[in-house]
Amino acid sequence: MKFVAFLAWLVTFGVIVFLVIQPVSLNTHFVTAMIVIIVIAVLKMFDRRGVLRAIVLALGAAVVLRYVYWRTTSTIPPVTELTNFVPGILLYLAEMYSVLMLFLALFTIADPFDRPRRALSQDDVRPTVDVFVPSLNEGAQFLATTLSAAKQLDYPSDRLAVYLLDDGGTDERREAADPAVAEAARNRRKELQALAHKLGVKYLTRGANINAKAGNLNNGLAHSCGEFVVVFDADHAPARDFLNETLGHFADDERLFLVQTPHFFINPDPLEHNLETWNRMPSENEMFYGVIQKGLDKWNASFFCGSAAVLRRSALEEIGGFAGTSVTEDAETSLELHARGWNSAYVERPMIAGLQPETFANFIGQRSRWCQGMTQILMLRNPLLRPGLSVAQRLSYLSSMCYWLFPLARTIFLFAPLCYLFFGLSIFEASGAEFAGYTITYLAVNVLLQNYLWSGVRWPFISELYETIQSVYLVRALGSVLVSPKRPTFRVTAKGETNRASRISELGAPFYVIFFLLAAGVVAMGWRVVAQPSNADIALVVGGWNLFNLLLMGAALGVVAERRQLRTSQRVAIERPAEIIFGDRVIPARIDDVSITGARILVPANGIRQVRPGDDVVMRFKPAAPLASNELPLTVRSVLRDDAGMALGAEFAVADPKQYALVADLVFADSQEWVRFQAARREGIGVVRGTVEFVQLSLYQTVRGLSYLLTSSAPKGAAEVGGEEERTAPIQRGARVTRFPGADPSAVVTTGNPPAIVAGSAVTRSLNPAVDR
Tell me the catalytic residues.
167, 330
* Rg of the chain over all Cα atoms, to the nearest angstrom: 28
Count of C-beta atoms within a 10 Å radius of residue 197? 17
**In contact, 694 and 182? CB cutoff 8 Å:** no
Q: Which residues contact 229 (CB under 8 A, 6 or more apart)?
A: 129, 130, 131, 132, 220, 221, 310, 311, 312, 313, 316
Handedness of CA 434, 437, 442, 447 (dihedral sign): positive
CA distance 473 to 457: 26
Cα 12 to Cα 8, 37, 48, 51, 55: the distances in Å are 6, 20, 20, 14, 11
Among residues 724, 721, 712, which one has the least CA distance to residue 489?
724
Q: What residue spans of 82-229 are helical by DSSP H?
A: 82-108, 140-151, 171-174, 179-199, 212-222
Among residues 729, 678, 663, which one has the least CA distance to residue 173?
729
Count of C-beta atoms within a 10 Å radius of residue 14? 10
DSSP 255: T
The three-class DSSP label of residue 250 is helix
Among residues 176, 136, 129, which one has the least CA distance to residue 153?
129
Angle at 274 between CA 272 and CA 275, to 5 degrees: 65
Cα 625 to Cα 151, 154, 434, 645, 668: the distances in Å are 10, 8, 66, 30, 11
CA distance 596 to 664: 7
Q: Which residues pair with 639 in a beta bridge?
A: 648
